[in-house]
Structures are given as structure tokens and as C-alpha cells.
Amino acid sequence: MTDRAIIAVGVDETDSSRRALAWAAQEALRRGACLRVITAWSWEAVESAPLVAVDPEAMLSLADQTQRDAITAVIGPMSIKPSMEREVVQCTAAEALVDASQHAVLVVVGTHGRGPVRSFLLGSVSLSVIKHAACPVVVMPPVATSAREDLAATSR
């Protein structure tokens, strides 16, 4: 652990979490803070899989690789990189980020756009983190799309 301020960011396989990672990395550089990249996995994510097919080591490995891929894609091309810590934990994403907020100056999460009306609503993870975090939370909005694309998405 570092003595510097910490900016925690939740990362999974989604584009929205990669946007959150990119924003958090820039903010960490701006503030001279350490970036703590957090990826969580839980049994809830594999509820529908047969129990014999679920291996905790495989789940941990998948979560770790997901995080590494996101870091490579987002942080790798940066000419100046923030100081960084990685954390892969077995719990829900909301639990991991709320826990991280106890030692962070900021928590950053992504959210998913779901059309013109639903895009104004926050997801369960971001809402839970906002309600329970011990520090400020930044929720990255979904990538802006045209009204025509939103309309097409909702009519499918």
C-alpha cells in the first residue's frame, strides 16, 4: 500500500469500465494519486452454471486476466502512467468498491446506457456505491449516442 492518495476504480469486461479506468488514470495523474484498479468476482455471477463446472481458481484467473486486459488496453498506450495497484477480490463489485472507499479519496465506476429513458437511471452497482461509499464517487456516463441510435436500440 502507498502513503499517497488513492483513486479506486472498478474494472470488468465492459467498455464502460474501460472508460472509467481511462478517466480515473488521468485523474490520478492530475492529483499525483495512486490508482487502485479493482476487479471483483462472485458466485452470483456464475449462479446458472452447474456447480461441477465452477472452479474458484478458474474464476480468479478469469477476473485477473480481464483486469490485465483492461489495463493493457487503457493504461498501456499512455505516455505517462499513474502509480498503480491491482486488486482482484471475491465479492460483489459494489462490496469491493465500498470497501475500497474507506481508504480512497475518490471511487470511479462505469455505467451502461440502455436507451433514451433508461440511460438516466444508474445501475445497481453504481447506485449501491453512491449510497454506501465513504468518499466521493464519480459515475462515468455511457458513451453518448445519437437520438436515432437510441431510438433504434429501444425498438428492437
Tens digits of per-residue pLDDT, 12-62?
999 999 999 999 999 999 999 999 999 999 876 555 555 545 678 888 999
Residues 72-90 have pLDDT tens digits of: 999 999 999 999 999 999 9
Give the domain ranges of the chain: 10-154
Mean pLDDT, range 113-121, rounded to an integer: 45
Can you give the pLDDT at residue 124? 84
Lowest mean pLDDT segment, chosen from 23-32, 110-119, 128-137, 139-148: 110-119
Contact between 6 and 103 (Cβ < 8 Å) = yes
Look at residue 27 and give its three-state secondary structure: helix
- For residue 130, the number of C-alpha atoms closer than 13 Å in the C-beta half-sphere is 13
* Residue of 130, 114, 108 whose CA lies nearest to 7: 108
Superfamily covering domain 10-154: HUPs (3.40.50.620)
